[in-house]
A = this chain, B = another copy of it.
């Protein structure tokens, strides 16, 4: 008759699900929360929906997180692992040409766009909630944008130093942002349009082509 009656199956005595230690339960809740927040935004997310996604009862969330706001913060923190460690490692140990490095990094960026579901969720949260949650904007600036710009600048400097790129590549202050922009735009389009977004593989190819041509030292 009602959902309530349906859920209890008529005898009304529910039995607790498996009793899990906190180390196991928390990631489960966090994963559910990240999904829910990413899909609905902070205000649109419902604690009951988080619980349902996690397969637990509403009340249990409050054993682990004191409030929706704190659950949100924790969700962000959980997503916000070092995104660029990989790229930075690759950069620091690199031996080959700057052109090759650029190609590698671009390939890496597009690969992440395609594959990392949680990262897309984090990005969506940042877009959606940055205005209301200053920490989100700060996190994005510090952990994502600045590090990405740093990597881009390092590559540009390396290419200019090696003579592969024309000197302007290191001198134009906005260039680092511009060369990483297609990946950002691509991820936004993926987010909004899903299947209908511009083709990422084609963008990747054109992106690399344009950069190599545009950065190239005059022959």
Contacts and interface: CB of A to CB of B under 8 A. Distances in A.
A90 B2 CA distance: 36
Contacts of A204: 174
Interface of A: 1-5, 8, 10, 12-13, 21-23, 26, 39-44, 46, 63-69, 72, 74, 126-128, 130-133, 137, 140-141, 145, 149, 166, 168, 172-175, 177-182, 184-186, 188-189, 191-194, 196, 198-199, 201-207, 209-211, 213-216, 218-219
Q: How many copies does the complex hold?
A: 4
Given A4-B22, A213-B214, 4 more contacts: A3-B66, A172-B209, A213-B215, A214-B215
Contact of A206 (B4, B26, B174): B174
B203 A177 contact: yes
B26 A22 contact: no
Contacts of A74: 1
Contacts of A184: 181, 184-185, 188-189
A205 to B, nearest CB: 6
B202 A4 contact: no
20 contacts: A1-B69, A2-B63, A4-B63, A5-B22, A5-B67, A5-B69, A39-B131, A43-B43, A44-B44, A140-B193, A174-B198, A177-B182, A180-B185, A181-B182, A182-B185, A185-B188, A188-B188, A210-B210, A213-B215, A218-B219
Pairs A-B, 4 closest by C-beta atoms: A214-B214, A174-B202, A43-B44, A174-B206
Contact of A127 (B3, B72, B192): B192
A44 B198 CA distance: 30
B206 A177 contact: yes
B22 A172 contact: no
Interface hub of A3, A174, A202 (most chain B Cβ within 10 A): A174
A211 B207 CA distance: 11
Contacts of A133: 1
